[in-house]
A and B are shown apart, each in its own frame.
Chain A
Amino acid sequence: MSALVYLVSRKLKNRVKEILHRPTELIVLLVVLAFAVFVIWTGNMSRESEALRDFGELEAILLGVYTVVFVLIAKNGFVNGAAMFSMPDVNLLFDAPFQPKTMLSYGLFSQMGHALSLGIVLVYQYSWLRSAYDVTLLKLLVIVIGYAMTVFLAQMIAMLIYSLTSGSDKKCRIAKGIFYGLLLIFVAFFAKDVLTTEGEMLPRVVAAANKPLMHFLPVAGFLRFGVAGALSQHWSAAFIALGCFVVCVAVYYVLVSLLRIDFYEDVLKAAEISFSAITARKEGKAQELAPRNVKVGKTGITHGEGAAVIGVKHSIENRRSRFLLFDLMSLIFAAATIIFALIIKDAVGAFAFSVYMMVMSVGSGRWAKELTLPYVYLIPEPSFKKLLYTIKEQLPALAAQSVLNFVLLPFLIDCDWLTCIAMMTARFSFGLLFIGVNLLLSRLLGGNGNNKAIIVMVYFLFCLLASIPAIAAGVAVHFIYLGFASIAYSFFAIFAVNTLLALLLLFLCRNILETSQNNNR
């Protein structure tokens, strides 16, 4: 048996054994699978009752998703290369007598395997995809394969970019110009089509995304063309896309041979970065999402004493991380909310979507990073005071992101300004509530939770439970004043209840910096 086949099969076998020997991991896996089955079952149940939406919308969504995935991965080629190998791969396999091409195939296919395993996320979209676009399980599998192929080619291109440009700023600038210039051309054509046609916004966006020109968008364009072809049984389109995929891979291998690209060095940096990120995660440290070149600017803390200096420090750190009120993720979430609102044309649905997207992002603020270092526990100041100054930095960002998520809705869908403002306040209050839930979980588990998946599940459950009072209040207000008041009053009720509950949680967790376990192992 080839050593690489042995390695892959052993890793898989040991992973399965590990899951079977760890009850918590097994429970998580079973819950994940049960939830997937539930989503598939409910998807099949709800299908009969609803009218199907325009299939073109799904084609446009696929183009958007594949393009975002492709750009986010491929652009790493300008910084680190492709993260397709782990540190043990680099240390053990690169020194072993394997052909570089064999290693390259191993890396690319391993990465494709990861992409397919991440495709489970797409399974959770089955219910609405089924009811809206009649996407069967087989069709969903085609979408997931398209996604995995996008990841595969994006990794390959990231590595090629890095191989050809690393070590030369000029080459890097030229490559960046070509990469983003090409992207910009397609965005410009798309924007022109949307802005110069008339009618409702959604059909204009869909029509622009599905123009034949978009099939030529590198990777994402032809893969979307192929997947959409397979979904609508236009097999010629699927075969053309498959052909393009094979040609891309073949061209890449030829380039690696002709240019004698020594990719070992090119993947090293990405492997080291990924290894240090994994190590930091294992040690319980939150990674700083910092730009590559940090502009230090004015130095010195200059003001603040005692607990207050924590807040001053956060503002300095945010300035250098170029995080003023928005990060890339919050912008993507806001864009997704607006697109979702356009598709469903319902303010309440858009609100629910926006809050759902916020559940995970709230726990990644600077305040959460602060709790992973010892200083906040060691500083001789009252625990509650330190806690307040630690979470203070999150509030302006929460407010600004709430505004950004909904400010365009009155222009795009049937949503009056009062409702829009009420939605902003209600979303802000959910942000406060989820911070409170994070703290409560930290207080209850106190660093004892070793299984991150279990913690995430418990966190989701707690968020769900904590949301019930506000949602109940919103529903109650809606029914009591049915016909007399706008839905806006329900959102104001949600804001009031959430804020009170968040303050209660904060008060209950006031001693968290005395009792929490900073188990930074």
Chain B
Amino acid sequence: MLQVNHVTKKYGKLTAVEDVGFQIDNGEIAVLLGPNGAGKSTIIKCISGLLRFDGEILIDGHANKSLDAKRALGYVPEMPAVYDMLTVGEHLEFIVRAYRMQDDGTAERLLERFELLDKKDKLGKELSKGMQQKLSICCALVHRPSVVIFDEPMVGLDPHAIKQLKEVFMELRANGATVLISTHMIDSVENYWDKAYIMQAGKFVAERAASDVSEESLESLFFRLTESGEKA
């Protein structure tokens, strides 16, 4: 479970995120939508413990900077995070060892799934941007986290990888994990979200649950809010 309570993030005088709060339960997929510069990546980085913030963030009930929270968290950054001088296989081995896990074959399965198994001995610097993104995703999932955060995960992926990633989202939900996906590609998440949050200028301007009865699609709601500046 992921709880974000009254989180504000300022860069000097600029308020990037203002008093944001939400909760995603186990077995739920939430999507975070918003135009460029809305504050999506900032709130994601706050949750991941990469940025300081005011407020409270709990991951499976633990403060997000605690070791228990870090163990539970998987994070796919906006820019692929890859070491140039490690091979693909070594990236996963590094994470498994750093998290003090036993390799139960998850690493190999992930590599196979994202078509990286034949690239296992290739260095990070030899991968294309799309492959680096796939590797980043594998690194975030290999320690079997219970809360997974994806920041623009589909950028640069080929159709096969996008299909696989969507299946991963479903499997994570089915296994009771909490999933938060930040994106501005609304059509790519249209079919499987449980909760949606629309951000603009650092604030939530709308929240919607999949169970809410509404004739307006998420996409048209997004455009209505972000183009007119009104609040739902």
For B11, give the chain A residue with the smallest CB separation: A448
Check A300–B123 contact: CB distance below 8 A. Answer: no
Check A283–B79 contact: CB distance below 8 A. Answer: yes
Check A299–B89 contact: CB distance below 8 A. Answer: yes
Whether B73 sits at the interface, judged by CB under 8 Å, is yes
The listed residue (B77, B79, B81, B85) touching A294 by CB distance below 8 A is B85
Rounded to whole angstroms, the CA-CA distance of A448 and B68 in the bound complex is: 28
Name which of A144-152, A188-196, A331-339, A374-382 contacts chain B.
Answer: A374-382
Whether A500 sits at the interface, judged by CB under 8 Å, is no
Asked, given contacts A374-B75, A520-B77, whether A381 binds B50 with beta carbons under 8 Å apart, the answer is no
Rounded to whole angstroms, the CA-CA distance of A26 and B65 in the bound complex is: 38
Check A517–B52 contact: CB distance below 8 A. Answer: yes
A240 to chain B, nearest CB (A): 46
Asked, given contacts A288-B84, A296-B87, A375-B95, whether A518 binds B67 with beta carbons under 8 Å apart, the answer is no
B19 to chain A, nearest CB (A): 20
For A287, give the chain B residue with the smallest CB separation: B84
Interface string of A491-521 (1 = CB under 8 A from B): 0000000000000000000000011011111
Interface residues of A in 353-399 (CB under 8 A from B): 373-375, 377-382
Rounded to whole angstroms, the CA-CA distance of A515 and B65 in the bound complex is: 9
Interface string of B76-114 (1 = CB under 8 A from A): 010101011111011001110111100000000000000
Check B123–A294 contact: CB distance below 8 A. Answer: yes
Interface residues of A in 301-329 (CB under 8 A from B): 301, 304-307, 309-310, 313, 316-317, 320-321
A281 to chain B, nearest CB (A): 13
The listed residue (B70, B86, B121, B123) touching A313 by CB distance below 8 A is B86
Number of contact residues on A: which range applies? 35 or more
Check A374–B100 contact: CB distance below 8 A. Answer: no
Whether A93 sits at the interface, judged by CB under 8 Å, is no
Complex interface: chain B residues within 8 A of A517 (CB)? 50-52
Interface residues of B in 36-83 (CB under 8 A from A): 41, 45, 48-52, 65, 67-68, 70-71, 73, 75, 77, 79, 81, 83
Whether A119 sits at the interface, judged by CB under 8 Å, is no
Complex interface: chain B residues within 8 A of A290 (CB)? 84-85, 125
Asked, given contacts A313-B86, A379-B70, A519-B51, whether A304 binds B79 with beta carbons under 8 Å apart, the answer is no
Whether B12 sits at the interface, judged by CB under 8 Å, is yes
Complex interface: chain B residues within 8 A of A374 (CB)? 48, 50, 75, 77, 81
Check B121–A518 contact: CB distance below 8 A. Answer: no
Check A373–B83 contact: CB distance below 8 A. Answer: yes
Asked, given contacts A374-B81, A517-B50, whether A379 binds B125 with beta carbons under 8 Å apart, the answer is no
For A321, give the chain B residue with the smallest CB separation: B85
B13 to chain A, nearest CB (A): 11
Complex interface: chain A residues within 8 A of B49 (CB)? 377-378, 514
For A515, give the chain B residue with the smallest CB separation: B52
Check A301–B90 contact: CB distance below 8 A. Answer: yes
Rounded to whole angstroms, the CA-CA distance of A307 and B94 in the bound complex is: 10
Asked, given contacts A313-B83, A381-B67, whether A446 binds B52 with beta carbons under 8 Å apart, the answer is yes
Rounded to whole angstroms, the CA-CA distance of A381 and B95 in the bound complex is: 12
A interface majority secondary structure:
loop
Complex interface: chain A residues within 8 A of B121 (CB)? 296, 299
Rounded to whole angstroms, the CA-CA distance of A301 and B93 in the bound complex is: 7
A18 to chain B, nearest CB (A): 19
Complex interface: chain A residues within 8 A of B71 (CB)? 380
Interface string of A65-90 (1 = CB under 8 A from B): 00000000000000000000000000
Complex interface: chain B residues within 8 A of A304 (CB)? 97
Complex interface: chain B residues within 8 A of A521 (CB)? 41
For B74, give the chain A residue with the smallest CB separation: A378
Complex interface: chain B residues within 8 A of A317 (CB)? 83-86
Check A378–B48 contact: CB distance below 8 A. Answer: yes
Asked, given contacts A288-B125, A290-B84, A373-B81, whether A379 binds B98 with beta carbons under 8 Å apart, the answer is yes
Interface residues of A in 269-312 (CB under 8 A from B): 283, 285, 288, 290, 294, 296, 299-301, 304-307, 309-310
Complex interface: chain A residues within 8 A of B125 (CB)? 288, 290, 294
Complex interface: chain B residues within 8 A of A515 (CB)? 52
Check A310–B98 contact: CB distance below 8 A. Answer: yes
Check B97–A375 contact: CB distance below 8 A. Answer: no
The listed residue (A296, A300, A446, A514) touching B93 by CB distance below 8 A is A300
Rounded to whole angstroms, the CA-CA distance of A338 and B121 in the bound complex is: 42
For B73, give the chain A residue with the smallest CB separation: A378
Asked, given contacts A305-B100, A448-B11, whether A288 binds B73 with beta carbons under 8 Å apart, the answer is no
For B10, give the chain A residue with the smallest CB separation: A448
Cβ contacts A to B, 25 pairs, < 8 Å: A285-B79, A294-B85, A294-B123, A294-B125, A299-B87, A299-B90, A300-B89, A301-B94, A306-B97, A306-B100, A309-B98, A310-B98, A313-B86, A316-B86, A317-B83, A320-B123, A321-B85, A375-B95, A379-B98, A382-B67, A446-B52, A448-B11, A514-B49, A514-B65, A519-B50
Residues of B within 8 A of A (CB): 11-12, 41, 45, 48-52, 65, 67-68, 70-71, 73, 75, 77, 79, 81, 83-87, 89-90, 93-95, 97-100, 121, 123, 125, 139
Closest 3 CB pairs of A and B: A380-B70, A317-B85, A288-B84
13 more CB-based (< 8 A) A-B contacts, given A301-B94, A301-B97, A379-B70: A288-B125, A290-B84, A294-B125, A305-B100, A307-B98, A309-B94, A316-B90, A317-B84, A317-B86, A378-B70, A380-B70, A517-B51, A520-B50
